[in-house]
C-alpha cells in the first residue's frame, strides 16, 4: 500500500440515537475504511446506519472536534 493512496474517512453522523456518533478511519478506499470501523467496533453483524461521510487527504494539517451531548 502506498501512503499517498491513504485518506482520512470521517462519519460525523454515525449511528445517531439521542445524539450523533462519530467514526473515523485511515484507509485507501471506502470499503476498506468501513471494514476497519466494523472490526474496531466489534459488532457481530454489518453496521447499517453510517450516515454521510467525507474524506480528507493526509498531506495537510487537519483537526476535528466533537462536543458531547445528551
Q: What residues contact residue 37 under an 8 Å CB cut-off, 6+ apart?
A: 11, 23, 24, 25, 47
CB atoms within 10 A of CB 46: 8
| pTM of the shown model | 0.79
Q: Name the more confident of 49 and 34.
A: 34
pLDDT at 41 over 70: yes
pLDDT at 44 over 70: no
Amino acid at each position: 500500500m502506498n501512503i499517498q493512496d491513504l485518506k482520512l474517512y470521517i462519519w460525523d453522523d454515525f449511528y445517531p440515537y439521542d445524539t450523533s456518533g462519530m467514526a473515523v478511519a485511515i484507509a485507501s478506499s471506502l470499503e476498506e475504511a468501513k471494514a476497519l470501523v466494523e472490526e474496531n467496533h466489534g459488532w457481530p453483524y454489518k453496521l447499517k446506519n453510517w450516515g454521510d461521510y467525507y474524506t480528507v487527504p493526509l498531506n495537510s494539517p487537519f483537526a476535528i472536534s466533537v462536543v458531547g451531548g445528551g
